[in-house]
A and B are shown apart, each in its own frame.
Chain A
């Protein structure tokens, strides 16, 4: 059974850097085709895609946030880490990590398993 769980601070101050960890189980980050993606959702608003990392360390970022985001993976711990710099109150929301597969095409089978999400509040 594939599961993902997000962890990190619940509150960060403006201008600080946010570091979130996604701990994955039921699959290996080194298995061909595997990808882990981060998506966020401000309170009462829509989902917003942030970043994705594949088994081969290929990475993709949202163009609007690319300068602030870094996604990495630790295969030995089966974890994916997302860092976001220069945090602002507008970055407040729930952050999800999720599993996907690169079949013949990117995200061919959708984002099929989601973590429960972790809530981050940006406030001084």
Chain B
């Protein structure tokens, strides 16, 4: 099973909104509402920012929002801040055999 597909990089200016896509297949993203997103600052462990496609853990800013349409999930960050500059990874449950897939990661640059 291949990794989920994300753009290698995105960028935006402070205050703007950006969206990161995550494309899977009918066996993973499209078949389960079990997509999660992780933010990874340089040299740090990943941090959960969205789970079950749209839900945010306690303490995560409401500037982060998730959605899904068919086999593509998306993470939108509104009101970009310098501190949002990081790598972002999507992840999807993929059934009993493959189980879990990560995306290739997207580097967000805040201009």
Contacts and interface: CB of A to CB of B under 8 A. Distances in A.
A116 interface: yes
Contacts of B64: none
A117 B48 CA distance: 15
B51 A106 contact: no
Among A39, A47, A109, max chain B CB count under 10 A is at A47
A77 to B, nearest CB: 22
A116 B44 CA distance: 7
Given A106-B93, A109-B52, A52 B99 contact: yes
Contact of A111 (B1, B40, B48): B48
B102 A110 contact: no
A46 B1 contact: no
Given A107-B93, A116-B45, A117-B45, A49 B101 contact: yes
Contacts of B40: 47
B45 to A, nearest CB: 4
The contact size tier of chain B is 20 to 34
Interface string A37-49: 1010000011111
A52 B91 CA distance: 15
Interface string B34-61: 1010101000011110111000010000
B34 A47 contact: no
Contacts of B101: 49
Nearest to A63: B98
B51 A110 contact: yes
A109 B102 contact: no
A110 B104 CA distance: 18
Given A46-B103, A48-B102, A110 B48 contact: yes
Given A96-B45, A105-B34, A110-B36, A47 B93 contact: no
7 contacts: A46-B89, A46-B102, A63-B98, A107-B36, A110-B48, A114-B45, A114-B46
Interface of B: 1, 3, 32, 34, 36, 38, 40, 45-48, 50-52, 57, 89, 91, 93, 96-105
Interface of A: 37, 39, 45-49, 52, 60-63, 96, 105-112, 114-117
